[in-house]
C-alpha cells in the first residue's frame, strides 16, 4: 500500500513540475492584419481600384484623413513568456496609396523602417474624485434594486 501511495505522489509531483515548466514556454500570437502574399499579389498598381482592394484584403487598419486616399494594413507578432508582459517580435506595415481611385503605390515596411516610439508610463490626470474600491462598494449600496415585477 505504501509503494502504491509513493507512486501516486511521484506521478502527482511529476505532473505539477511539468505544468510549471510548460507555463514558462514562449507563446506567440499575431495581432492585426494577417498578410497573405497570394492576396497581395492580386493587387496591381495603376489598375486595381479602392473597392477591389477592400474586397481582396478587407478593411484597412488605418486610412488617411487628408490628401489622396492611403490605406495602411498593420500587423504585429507578440511573444509572451509566462506572466511577463508581451513583447513585439515582428512588425509589418503595408501602405497602399491611391490616385484617382486606383493604386498609385504599394509599400512594405518592416521594424527597421519604423521609427521607435518611446512609451511613457505616466497617466493623464483628470478632474474629479478618486474613489477607491471600498468607497465604490459602499456607494453602490441601495442603488440597484430589483423591479417590483421581479420581486413578485
pLDDT in tens, 43-57: 888 888 889 999 999
Q: Look at the chain and report how many structural domains it folds into.
A: 1
Q: Provide the grid cell at 72.
A: 495602411
Segment 76-95, tens digit of pLDDT: 888 887 777 777 778 888 99
Answer whether residue 1 is part of any domain.
no
14 within domain boundaries: no
Residue 38 inside a domain? The answer is yes
The model's confidence at residue 73, banded by pLDDT at 50, 70 and 90, is very high
- Contact present, 54 and 103 (Cβ < 8 Å): no
Question: Which CATH number fits the domain that encloses residue 49?
Answer: 3.30.1450.10
Q: Which pLDDT belongs to residue 149?
A: 57
pLDDT at 134: 79
- The residue-averaged pLDDT of 9-13 equals 85
Answer whether residue 46 is part of any domain: yes
What is the domain range of residue 81?
A: 24-111
Tell me the longest C-alpha to C-alpha distance in the chain.
84
pLDDT at 104: 92
Nearest residue to 49 (alpha-carbon basis) of 5, 57, 84: 57
pLDDT of residue 95: 92
pLDDT at residue 121 is higher than 80: no
Q: What is the pLDDT of residues 13-52, one digit of tens each?
A: 888 887 776 666 777 888 888 888 898 888 888 888 889 9
Higher pLDDT, 111 or 104: 104
pLDDT of residue 147: 63
C-alpha 46/C-alpha 43 separation (Å) is 9
Amino acid at each position: 500500500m505504501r509503494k502504491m501511495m509513493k507512486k501516486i505522489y511521484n506521478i502527482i509531483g511529476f505532473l505539477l513540475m511539468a505544468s510549471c515548466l510548460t507555463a514558462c514556454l514562449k507563446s506567440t500570437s499575431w495581432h492585426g492584419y494577417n498578410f497573405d502574399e497570394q492576396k497581395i499579389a492580386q493587387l496591381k498598381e495603376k489598375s486595381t481600384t479602392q473597392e477591389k482592394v477592400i474586397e481582396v484584403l478587407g478593411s484597412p487598419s488605418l486610412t488617411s484623413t487628408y490628401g489622396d486616399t492611403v490605406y495602411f494594413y498593420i500587423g504585429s507578432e507578440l511573444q509572451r513568456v509566462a506572466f511577463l508582459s508581451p513583447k513585439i517580435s515582428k512588425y509589418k506595415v503595408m501602405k497602399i496609396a491611391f490616385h484617382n481611385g486606383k493604386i498609385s503605390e504599394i509599400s512594405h515596411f518592416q521594424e527597421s523602417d519604423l521609427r521607435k516610439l518611446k512609451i511613457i508610463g505616466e497617466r493623464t490626470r483628470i478632474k474629479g474624485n478618486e474613489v477607491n474600491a471600498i468607497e465604490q462598494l459602499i456607494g453602490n449600496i441601495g442603488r440597484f434594486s430589483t423591479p417590483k415585477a421581479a420581486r413578485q
